[in-house]
Amino acid sequence: MSNLFTQIYLSYKALFLWLNWPGVIGNIVARPMLNVAMFSLVGRFAGHPEATQRYVLGMALYSIVEIVTGGVIQSFSYERGFGTLPLIYCSPASRWWIYAARSGMHYPNGLVCFVLSVTFGAIFLGFDYSRTNWALLVIAVIVVTLSSSAYALLIGNITLLYRNWTAIYSFAGSAILLLTGVLIPVSVLPVPLQALAQILPLTHGLEAFRAAFAGADITVATDALLWEIAIALAYGVVGFVSFRLIEEAARRTGMIEAGI
Amino acid sequence: MDRLIPLASSHRPLLRLGLLYTILGSYRQSATEGARSRNLRWLQRIPMAIVWGWFAVHADPAVATYLTIGVFFAVVWFEAVFVMGFSLTGEAFQGMIEVEITSPSGLMTVLFGKGLATAADAARTGLMSSAIVAIMSGLAIQIPQPPTFVASLVVAFVALIATSFVFAPLIVVVGGAAGFYNAIRPFGIVFGGFLFPISRLPETLQPISWFVPAAWSMNAMILTIQGAPLPDVAAHWVAALALSAVYLLIAWWCFKVVEKRILIHGSMTGA
C-alpha cells in the first residue's frame, strides 16, 4: 500500500507540470471560476436568463473533468516524454495500480475546482442553493469525479501513441462540453450524437447533479447515478485493457514508445 | 540596444528602416514556421465555436452580431496569448536569443514581428469560428454603420495584439510557468468583453475591465452596432488605443529587464 501512495505522489509531483504556483492558481483556482462567469454571462446576454442556473451547474461539474483530464493526460504524455515509460514496462509492479495511480492526486483537485465554481456562482452570480439536497449532491459529485478520472485515464493512453497531448486534451474536453448537456441540452442534439452522449461521462451524472440542486429525493436520481457508475467502470476496464495492449505491443515490436 | 551600439542621430532613419525590415523578416519567418507547426489547432476551435453558435441561435440580431464578431476576437485572443506568451522562451529553446539580443533591432522588434504573424494566423481560425456562429445564428447580423464598424474592428485588433504581446516578456519577468495561460485565456474573454458587454459583469468585477484595452474597443463595437454617434464611439477608440500604448510600454520595459538579465547573468530568469 505504501508503494501505491509513493507511486501516486511521484506521478503527481514529477508528471504534472502545472504543479507550480502560477499553474495551480491558474488552473485549479482561477480557470473554473472564470469559466462559470464566462458561460453564464454569455447565456444571460444571449437572452437565456432562465438558463443561467443550468450553465453555472454545468460548468461547475465540467470543471472537474477539465482539471482531471488535463492532469492525467499530461502524466501519460510526460511519462513518455521524460523517458520513464521503459522503466514502467520493466517494473514488476502491478499494472493496475500503476495505471490507476496516475489519477490519485487529480481526484481531489477536481473536487476543489467544483467547490470554487459553485462558490463563485453563489457570491457573484446570485446562484440559489436553498432547495439543494446536499446528500445527493455529494454523491453525484463523487461519482462524476470517478467517471471523469476513468475517462481521463482512457484518453491518456492515446498520448502513448500520439505526441501532441494538448490537442488530445482539447478534443477530450470539447467532446464533454459539446455532447453531455453541460451547456447544450442533449435533447437538441442530432439523434446519433444523443446516443453517443449516453456513453460519455457526465451525461447521467449531470442529471443527478441537477436533480440534487432542484431538491429531488435520492431515489429520483438512482438510475442516473448507477448509469454514471457503470460508465466509470466500463471506461476503467477498457482503459486498463488498452494500457496493457499498448505495453504488449511495445514488447512485441521492440518499440517502447508508440509500440502500435 | 542603443546603449550597446551608439548611433549618431543621422543614423536614426536608417535604424527605423532596419526595424521595419526586422519586423517584416521575423513575420515571414514565423509565418513559415507556423504553417509547418499549425497542426490541429484550427480544428480544436470548432467545438467551442459550435458552443458559442448555440448561444447565438435564438439571440436577437444585435446580440448575434456581437457574438459573431466577439467570437473572432475570443479565438484570436485564445491562440495569440498562448503562442506569444511562450514566444520568448521558445526563442531561447531554439538557441536564437543570442542572435536576437546582439542584433541592433533588439529582441522586442523581432518578437513583435513574430507576434503579428501569430495574430494573422489566429485571425484565420477566428474567421472560421465567426462563420460557424454566423451560420448557426441564421445570418441574423446587422451592421448599421459599416465604416465605423470597420474602424472599430481595426482598433479592437490593435488592442488585442498589444495585450497579447505584453505576455511574451511578462511571463519571463514574473517567472510564470506551464499552465499559467489556462487562466489568462478565460480572464481575457471575461474582462475583455469579447462575448458579452462589460456592463453585464457583476458590478464588483467591472473595475478590472477598465484596465483591459479590449474592453474599451469592444464597448466601441457595441456602440457601433447600436448606431451611437461617432464622437461616443471615438472616445472609446481613444481609450482603447491609449491603453494599448501603455501595454506596449510595459512590454518594452519587460523586454529591457529580460535583456539586462541576459547580458548580466546569462539567463532570462536572472538565476
Domain boundaries, chain B: 12-265
pLDDT of residue A191: 93
Span A130-151, average pLDDT: 92
pLDDT of residue A259: 46
- Calculate what percentage of chain A has a pLDDT beyond 70: 98
The ipTM, to two decimals, is 0.82
Mean pLDDT, chain A, rounded, equals 89
Angstrom CA distances, A115 to A43, A61, A110, B88, stand at 21, 9, 9, 35
Task: Give the position of cell 429531488.
Answer: A216
pLDDT of residue B1: 46
Task: Give the position of cell 452580431.
Answer: B65
pLDDT of residue B175: 66
Do the beta carbons of residue B255 and residue B171 sit within 8 Å? no
pLDDT of residue A186: 92
Contact at CB, B58 and A184, closer than 8 angstroms: no
Q: Given pLDDT bands bounded at 50, 70 and 90, which one contains residue A253?
A: confident
Per-position b or e across A198-225, b if 16+ CB within 10 A of its CB: eebbbbbbbbbbbbbbeebeeebbeebb
The yes-or-no verdict on residue A49 having pLDDT over 80 is: no
Q: Model confidence over A155-206: pLDDT tens digits?
A: 999 988 887 888 889 889 999 999 999 988 999 899 999 999 999 999 999 9
Rounded to 10 deg, the angle between the B181-191 and B61-85 helix axes is 150
Q: What is the rounded distance in angstroms from the CA atom of residue B187 to the CA atom of residue B167?
A: 13
Q: How far is A217 from chain B (nearest CA, A)?
A: 32
pLDDT of residue B226: 81
The residue ranges of chain B whose pLDDT is under 50 are 1-2, 4
Contact at CB, A184 and B200, closer than 8 angstroms: no
**Phi/psi of residue A130, each to 5°?**
-60, -30
Q: How far is A90 from chain B (nearest CA, A)?
A: 30
- Residues in chain A closer than 8 A to B215 (CB atoms): none
- Residues in chain B closer than 8 A to A22 (CB atoms): 174-177, 179-180
Q: What is the rounded distance in angstroms from the CA atom of residue A143 to the CA atom of residue A224?
A: 10
Best A12, A18, A28, A41 member to test B by mutation, with max B CBs in 10 Å, is: A41
pLDDT of residue A72: 93
Q: How far is CA B242 from the centre of its chain?
A: 15
- Calculate what percentage of chain A has a pLDDT beyond 90: 45
Do the beta carbons of residue A135 and residue B7 sit within 8 Å? no
Q: Model confidence over B90-102: pLDDT tens digits?
A: 777 777 777 777 8
Q: Which residues, other chains included, contact B9 with Cβ-Cβ below 8 Å and sequence gap of 6+?
A: none
Contact at CB, A45 and B202, closer than 8 angstroms: no
Measured CA angle at B239 (ends B235, B243), to 5 deg = 170
Contact at CB, B177 and A23, closer than 8 angstroms: yes
Say which residue, B42 or A57, is predicted with more confidence.
A57
Span A91-99, average pLDDT: 89
Per-position b or e across B225-263, b if 16+ CB within 10 A of its CB: beebeeeebbebbebbbebbeebbebbeebbbebbebbe
Q: Is B60 on the interface with A (CB under 8 A)?
A: yes
Q: What is the rounded distance in angstroms from the CA atom of residue B11 to the CA atom of residue B155?
A: 32
Q: What is the rounded distance in angstroms from the CA atom of residue B87 to the CA atom of residue B51?
A: 29
pLDDT of residue A18: 83
Span A124-141, average pLDDT: 88
The yes-or-no verdict on residue A119 having pLDDT over 80 is: yes
